[in-house]
Amino acid sequence: MLFEDKTQEVYAADAGVEHATYEIVYDNFSQIESPSSYSEYDFTNTYQYQVGGEVNEEVVDVALANVWVPSNITPPTPSQAQGIIDAETLKIQSTYSEETTYRTKIEWYDDCGLDLEVKTIGIWLSSGFSYVPGSSNLEDDPTAVYYPSSVELQNHMGGQAVIFRFSPAVNFLDLPELDGDGDYHSVIIDIDYDGPDGAIPMCVSWVDTTGIPAITFAWDNASKVYHVISAADSTSIDSYLAIPPKANLDLYEGALVAGGDINLGKDSSVSGDILYGGTFTHSSGFVHTDGEEINEEPQFPTQEENESFAENYKQEAIAVEEYTGTYSIGMGNGVDPVYLGPIYISGDLFVAKDNILVITGPIYVEGYIDMDKDAEFTGSGGIIAGGDIYLAKSYDFGTGGASLIMSLNGNITFKKEATLEAVIYAPNGNIQFDKAATITGSVVAGGCITTDKDQSFTHIPGAHDFFALPGYSSGPLKTLTWEIE
């Protein structure tokens, strides 16, 4: 009888953990009783509630807490944390670039003209995983200014924290794999890890800085860890749960991806995979490096996923400027730029000749976009239309940050020369380049891709892993520990 009672208590307590798991996955904390409202950036309070109704004739009490992972940084208050996230001045995003490599991207928007100095970079790996000593790109060159003064391995939260220390602090602009344009800068930090074959650790990255009073640290807030204690009578279960970073579909890991045919003109080059569901043809002078030619039907997101993705851009644009009807930019003078975005346009967008259009935020057009071939465009961000997109000459578009050109239901045509870094995406149409182009990113069409001569397409592995594209999804919630007490 005693064993049976204990078993019922264990099942009841475990049901509490499962209930908390459901609340976390679906971001539903309506049952929280104390404190009265839940904050995802409160790392001090323990939130408590009672599972509705008895489980195995037991009342189940659940205590849930957000876990602050960075081991060498004092937990912020909810308002401090919210301020860091909302400011988006210093951001961290993480992914797994290869089977046993964890990649951290740190982005800094320098809008104050001061030097940002980095004191430490930290990465936590969950239980069962450990850092491979010397594998970080921070340690590639002992003579580099960014070479760590020390690398500390700490037992932390049942796993291992790796702390790269810089004494004196290193200038952000001196860190490895630096990229950026204007006020935007980003760096890439890679580490290798050991662990069970085929398993992926839960990881969280952070950075501790100095030099700018308003910026002192940042962490990967997309990777969340929770502490859950579920109690039924005299039995409780202590568990740590985690939501890992999210991931894009493999669809965007190709330089050229088409559900139909790909036809490249003379003197074209591709660095990266070429995926096609139809046929692949090219003219003389074709060069293909660092990739494969894969003839199989690519897996595209659903139209619902495409529309859901586009809706985020739409709402961001509407929040700044909303224009009813067709938006026309008259003839320019070829000298003075026209700045556009964020803006939502309920009709079409037309840009006349001799304009220099600078994209400064998401542009969402319900109809079509048509730029005269004697216009130009640059800048960065998202350009989305419900219908066809006809673009003019582009120069250095997208070098200032993650950028996208997307037609939800139509075709995308580049009338003139194009030099850009972006994902070019027409899930229900064709993509055509009428003149020479130098494209860094991914060109993805549900239909066909056709080019003229002198085309160069380069895909950089991992470059879009920090960009939540259609079909973007989180890994399953992980149970890091589960102990009966």
Q: Is 88 among the domain residues?
A: yes
Tens digit of each residue's pLDDT (9 = 90 or more) over 317-376: 999 999 999 999 999 999 999 999 999 999 999 999 999 999 999 999 999 999 999 999
Q: How confident is the model at residue 410 (pLDDT cuts 50, 70, 90)?
A: very high
Shared domain for 266 and 396, answered yes or no, is yes
Of the given ranges (27-36, 118-127, 223-232, 413-422), which has the lowest mean pLDDT? Answer: 27-36
**Residues 6 or more apart whose Cβ sits within 8 Å of residue 156:** 71, 124
Shared domain for 313 and 397, answered yes or no, is yes
At 304, which helix (H) or strand (E)?
Answer: helix 303-318
Residue 127 has pLDDT above 80, yes or no: yes
Shared domain for 230 and 254, answered yes or no, is no
Q: What single DSSP character describes residue 209?
A: E
Mean pLDDT of 46-54: 84
Residue 3 has pLDDT above 60, yes or no: no
Token pair of 28, please? 């539903």
pLDDT at 475: 63
Residue 214 has pLDDT above 80, yes or no: yes
pTM score, two decimals? 0.63
Angle at Cα 247 formed by Cα 241 and Cα 253, nearest 5°? 160
pLDDT at 246: 63
Shared domain for 115 and 241, answered yes or no, is no
Residue 209 has pLDDT above 70, yes or no: yes
**CA-closest candidate to residue 378, choices 406, 363, 356:** 356
Q: How confident is the model at residue 245 (pLDDT cuts 50, 70, 90)?
A: low
Shared domain for 148 and 209, answered yes or no, is yes
- Residue % of the chain over a pLDDT of 90: 64
Q: Is 468 among the domain residues?
A: no
Expressed as residue numbers, the domain containing 186 is 78-222
Of the given ranges (179-183, 291-295, 338-342), which has the lowest mean pLDDT? Answer: 179-183
pLDDT at 119: 97
- Residue % of the chain over a pLDDT of 70: 94
Q: Is 466 among the domain residues?
A: no
The C-alpha atoms of residue 100 and residue 96 are separated, in whole angstroms, by 8
Residue with tokens 């002078």: 285
User: In this structure, are strands 356-359 and 338-340 parallel, antiparallel, or unpaired?
Assistant: parallel
Across the chain, mean pLDDT equals 90
Q: Is 448 among the domain residues?
A: yes
Q: Is 111 among the domain residues?
A: yes
In the chain, the number of structural domains is 3
Residue 170 has pLDDT above 60, yes or no: yes
**Residue 58 forms beta bridges with which residues?**
55
Mean pLDDT of 282-288: 96
Token pair of 387, please? 């219908």
What are the backbone angles phi and psi of residue 312, rounded to the nearest 5°? -60, -45
Token pair of 256, please? 């050229």
Peptide bond into 76 cis (omega under 30): no
Q: What is the CATH number of the domain that holds 195?
A: 2.60.40
Q: Is 59 among the domain residues?
A: yes
Q: How confident is the model at residue 1 (pLDDT cuts 50, 70, 90)?
A: very low
82: burial class by Cβ within 10 Å (0-12, 13-18, 19+)? middle
Angle at Cα 459 formed by Cα 456 and Cα 460, nearest 5°? 135
Shared domain for 439 and 364, answered yes or no, is yes
Tens digit of each residue's pLDDT (9 = 90 or more) over 133-152: 999 999 999 999 999 999 99
Mean pLDDT of 218-238: 91
Residue with tokens 């109809």: 367
Residue with tokens 């045509």: 413
Shared domain for 304 and 387, answered yes or no, is yes
pLDDT at 2: 46
Q: Is 40 among the domain residues?
A: yes
Secondary structure, 3-state, 37-106? CCCCCCCCCCEEEECCCCECCECEEEEEEECCCCCCCCCCCHHHHHHHHHHCCEEEEEEEEECCEEEEEE
Shared domain for 146 and 162, answered yes or no, is yes
With the CA atoms of 143, 145, 148 and 150 taken in that order, what torsion angle do they form, in degrees rounded to the nearest 10?
80
Q: Is 203 among the domain residues?
A: yes
